[in-house]
Amino acid sequence: MTGWARAAAVARKDLRMEWRGRAAAVTSLLTGLLLVLVLGVALGPDPARAAAVVWVAVGSAAAVGIPRITQAEADQQALEALLLYPGRREHLYWGKAASLAVLLGAVAAVVLAVAGVLFALPLGGRLVPLAAVTGAGVASLAALGTLLAGLLLHVRGRELLMPLLLLPLALPPLLACIRLTDAILTGTPAGVWPGVLAAAVAVFGLACPILFEVVVDDA
């Protein structure tokens, strides 16, 4: 079995478990939708604020859902078994990151669609650039989130610490997604933000798999 086949097997296993329980997907999605509603009521229906509302909601939804992706490993000491399988731990990281990206991508798509209806956003005709920005934003959140889920596996109160770690560390991609989503919706220039988002994806994509091997190391 090649490394990438192992990564795909881990991703399939995580997605199948999530499909059966749906705990992370449902709680993340409801948190995201709740934040869209609360922020919408608090800030008013101005479409100019919609991009910020969407990405704050997606970031918070991710902070709620991510601790769940290592819940099975934590509950049943299954991480040790996973780590004992032959092959590099990097592939375990990529498998978990891929399943998390699918989960967060679905949450972000629903949050964006609901915000589009509630804020009367002109989403039609802009779906391709919006999907590209959402995909890159979700990729950076998944890359960072997978590392943090592994990092907090053996820390007391990991659900409490996840937002404290994820939201500040993910600030660059979140700010970039807010500005880019706003630029797409209003037709204004994107400025430096595509570069910021690409840099966030590259930095998290390179650093997090290396650091993941350190955090799951039992030595």
Partner 1 sequence: MSGSAVLGTAAMLLLAGAVYAGLVASPPDAFQGDYVRIMYVHVPTAWTAYLAVATTLVAGVLFLWKRDPRYDALTRSATELAVLFTGLTLATGSIWGRPVWGVWWTWDARLVTTAILFLIYCAALLVRALADDPRRGARLGAVVGILGAVDVPLIHYSVVWFRTLHQPPSITRGEIALAPPMLRALLLSVLAFTVLFAYLLALRVRVARLEDVGDGG
Measured from the CB atom, the residue of 16 and 154 that comes closer to partner 1 is 154
**Side-chain half-sphere CA neighbours of 104 within 13 A:** 34
Q: Nearest 10 degrees: CA dihedral of 152, 158, 161, 163?
A: 90
Instruction: Give the nearest distance from C-beta 137 to partner 1 in angstroms.
Output: 16
Sites of contact with partner 1 (CB under 8 A): 144, 147, 151-152, 154-157, 161, 164-165, 168-169, 171-172, 191-192, 196, 203, 207, 211, 214-215, 217
Residue whose C-alpha is closest to residue 149's, from 39, 8, 51, 24 = 24
Using the minimum distance from each CB to partner 1, give the nearer residue, 128 or 219: 219
Tokens of 203: 């930095």
State the residue for tokens 């509302």: 53
Q: Collapsing DSSP states into helix, strand and coil, what is residue 76?
A: coil
Quick check: 148 and 66 in contact, CB under 8 A? yes
How far apart CA 123 and CA 163 sit, in angstroms, is 29
Nearer to partner 1, 53 or 144 (CB): 144
81 vs 214, beta carbon nearer partner 1: 214
Nearer to partner 1, 6 or 93 (CB): 93
CA distances from 12 to 58, 69, 95, 189 (A): 23, 13, 8, 39
Choose between 91 and 179: whose C-beta lies nearer to partner 1: 179
Contact 161, 155 (CB under 8 A): yes
Minimal distance, residue 156 CB to partner 1, in Å: 5
Indicate the DSSP class of residue 219.
-
What is the length of the chain? 219
